[in-house]
């Protein structure tokens, strides 16, 4: 599943925040509940690949340093004006991925 497919599913089904984490399927919030958008987990490298499509150079440098980022993203003709996107690369750090609860 690519980024645009995720946003289309969210727009069609009333989703909001998108979570992209290596080792987990892409997930989104629907009525406050987190739900997977696919049964396939994102393999190592795929989250960063998707992230690079969304970020400018400054954001890429910050993401490379912190290994996580929150973005507001919109695509012309797809649902809401903006979607919140949470990116996380837990495979590159020893600590477990922390829980992310942020609200639009």
**Class of the domain covering 3-92:** alpha beta
Residues 92, 73: Cα–Cα separation, whole Å: 24
Q: How many residues does the chain have?
A: 104
Overall average pLDDT of the 7-32 stretch = 89
Q: Which residue has the tokens 């797809």?
A: 78
Residue 58 DSSP one-character state:
H
**In terms of Cα–Cα distance, which of 85, 81, 101, 94 is closest to 11?**
81
For 33-92, what is each residue's pLDDT tens digit?
A: 999 999 999 998 888 888 888 889 999 999 888 888 898 887 777 655 577 888 888 754
Q: What is the pTM of this model?
A: 0.76
Q: Which residue has the tokens 């996580």?
A: 68
Does pLDDT of 96 surpass 70? no
């Amino acid at each position: 599943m690519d980024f645009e497919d995720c946003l289309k599913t969210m727009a069609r089904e009333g989703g909001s925040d998108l979570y992209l984490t290596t080792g987990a399927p892409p997930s989104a919030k629907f009525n406050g509940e987190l739900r997977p958008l696919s049964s396939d987990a994102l393999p190592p490298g795929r989250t960063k690949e998707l992230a690079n499509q969304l970020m400018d150079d400054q954001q890429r440098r910050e993401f490379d340093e912190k290994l996580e980022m929150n973005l507001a993203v919109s695509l012309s003709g797809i649902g809401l004006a903006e979607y919140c996107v949470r990116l996380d690369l837990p495979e590159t750090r020893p600590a477990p991925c922390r829980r992310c609860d942020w609200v639009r």
